[in-house]
Chain A
């Protein structure tokens, strides 16, 4: 695997200069790797992983996960409808699933009403959507591999040990 991509995936939050040091590359080589990853459409963009539990503005954001049943189409299967749903700004992620429903859609909105409105007025009225089942998220404990505020002591290691 591309050494730069590998370090990115580990989620160590390293700067370009730090990645260069660890991978024994020059900064411009790391930048070239990153450019190539973007060109190849492997690296689509950057998003920070934040613990926003104490951030008032973020706390006002409501998140929900919606199970959606849809009718597959001859020739295109689930793709056309899935893409149509995914294009809404409210949708953060959208997956085709095995099992009891077809699409799992992660949605966010400024309030419960806004999310509910999006589901009832937009999502469920699209032709081909058979049913939706909406679950509101109450609290986040772990996000993309990062534990949120566990209070785990990380600095109890003694400074000098044999």
Chain B
């Protein structure tokens, strides 16, 4: 094949940088078979609870192999509507204010495609999930990063939003609790952000995929604040709380006109989410909550363990209020985050992800996912301690 084929790649795709995670993935792949403990994942270590898996098997047995409505099974949309009312305090009509998507990733992409004109400015906080910036670039939007800082436990502040804002900003993307920092906002902080959004007439895309995994206090959705439901697309899914990453199932809720616009894109691109996954999700919402609570309790204890150990070791680490990620600083080790991650992997066989993979504000940090067993976490922390204590090669 000649490299000439490159001429067919669209300019804005060719211009996308490769994910920093991808580079690191390749480094880890070279270590195969070497007893590497990975804290580098972005998903639960639990297998989907059996009753949910069994519901999918039953759906197959009953011949549920067809397309569903573009918006998703009405029974599932009803269950989602009830769930969102009970857990987030916002009411959405199942008929026209809920759409079921292939993961939150698709919902986010649909929203950007439906609402962002070329050149529109989209604000997002950093460090953030790896796909936010590229997703904005793919719809020819202009990304406007808003920094979050360790000193605020990586909560987004209205002040940071205000100083990053520029004329032409139309959309604000939120991910609270946040991958990779575990940072989130309490109600007071969210209220200040809501005031700012109303003042600047911003549409909010609120990705709340980690909301059930909030360890202290209760999670508040920005959509539940006065005057916000009409300017918020609430994005959620089943991957994290119900341990269903591989099912690829998410949803979006919002004003009917906006959901309809997203549905247009969805119907021409995806048509509908997998009916088997939708049947499983219905079971998750109906009889899955006890599993969520059990898993959350485990994550909570694991978080306390790794945060305590990281701070003992000398890696300054805030206690993430939500998610299953710790985001310690490696500044005190004399290594930058890439050297730290690569050295830790090759010398002590523990994989963490360099924070810079999540944007410039992640420089000097690494992401360590604590969704793994106590035994593994204890060994991983001991290995990290040995790595930090030995003189730099």
Instruction: Please state if B373 and A12 are interface contacts (CB–CB under 8 Å).
Output: yes
User: Is B305 engaged at the interface, CB distance under 8 Å to the other chain?
Assistant: yes
A86 to B43, CA, bound (A): 47
User: Is B86 engaged at the interface, CB distance under 8 Å to the other chain?
Assistant: no
A22 to B43, CA, bound (A): 21
User: Is A161 engaged at the interface, CB distance under 8 Å to the other chain?
Assistant: yes
User: Is B45 engaged at the interface, CB distance under 8 Å to the other chain?
Assistant: yes
**Interface size, chain B (Cβ < 8 Å):** 30
A102 to B350, CA, bound (A): 55
Instruction: Please state if A24 and B308 are interface contacts (CB–CB under 8 Å).
Output: yes
Contact check: which of B131, B301, B305, B375 meets A162 at CB < 8 Å?
Answer: B131
Q: Select the residue from A14, A21, A24, A152 with max chain B CB neighbours within 10 A.
A: A21
User: Is B304 engaged at the interface, CB distance under 8 Å to the other chain?
Assistant: yes
User: Is B317 engaged at the interface, CB distance under 8 Å to the other chain?
Assistant: no
Instruction: Please state if A22 and B351 are interface contacts (CB–CB under 8 Å).
Output: no
Tell me the minimal C-beta distance from A111 to chain B in angstroms: 36
- Given A21-B305, A21-B378, A22-B305; A160-B351 close (CB under 8 Å): yes
Instruction: Please state if A157 and B305 are interface contacts (CB–CB under 8 Å).
Output: no
A154 to B376, CA, bound (A): 14
Contact check: which of A12, A18, A154, A157 meets B43 at CB < 8 Å?
Answer: A157
Tell me the minimal C-beta distance from B92 to chain A in angstroms: 28
B358 — nearest CB in chain A belongs to which residue? A162
A160 to B305, CA, bound (A): 21
B309 cross-chain contacts in A, Cβ below 8 A = 21
Map CB proximity to B onto A124-162 as digits: 1 under 8 Å, 0 otherwise.
Answer: 000000000000000000000000000010100111111
Instruction: Please state if B375 and A14 are interface contacts (CB–CB under 8 Å).
Output: yes
Instruction: Please state if B374 and A152 are interface contacts (CB–CB under 8 Å).
Output: no
Instruction: Please state if A14 and B36 are interface contacts (CB–CB under 8 Å).
Output: no
Interface size on A, as a range, is: 10 to 19
A160 to B368, CA, bound (A): 11
- Given A18-B378, A152-B47; A159-B304 close (CB under 8 Å): no
A15 — nearest CB in chain B belongs to which residue? B375
Q: Select the residue from B130, B304, B373, B374 with max chain A CB neighbours within 10 A.
A: B374
B47 — nearest CB in chain A belongs to which residue? A152
- Given A14-B374, A24-B308; A160-B28 close (CB under 8 Å): yes
User: Is B38 engaged at the interface, CB distance under 8 Å to the other chain?
Assistant: yes
Tell me the minimal C-beta distance from B47 to chain A in angstroms: 7
Contact check: which of B19, B28, B375 meets A18 at CB < 8 Å?
Answer: B375
The B233-278 residues at the A interface (CB cut-off 8 A) are none
Tell me the minimal C-beta distance from A63 to chain B in angstroms: 25
Q: Select the residue from A14, A23, A158 with max chain B CB neighbours within 10 A.
A: A158
- Chain B contacts to A: CB under 8 angstroms: 19, 21, 24-25, 28-29, 36, 38, 40-43, 45, 47, 129-131, 179, 301-302, 304-305, 308-309, 351, 353, 373-375, 378
> What would 13 more interface pairs be, CB under 8 Å, given A24-B304, A159-B28?
A12-B373, A12-B375, A21-B305, A21-B374, A22-B302, A152-B47, A159-B40, A159-B41, A160-B25, A160-B28, A160-B38, A160-B40, A161-B21
Instruction: Give 22 pairs: A residue, B residue, CB < 8 Å, sorted on A.
Output: A12-B374, A12-B375, A14-B375, A18-B375, A21-B374, A22-B374, A23-B301, A24-B308, A157-B43, A157-B45, A158-B25, A159-B28, A159-B29, A160-B24, A160-B38, A160-B41, A160-B353, A161-B41, A162-B42, A162-B130, A162-B131, A162-B179
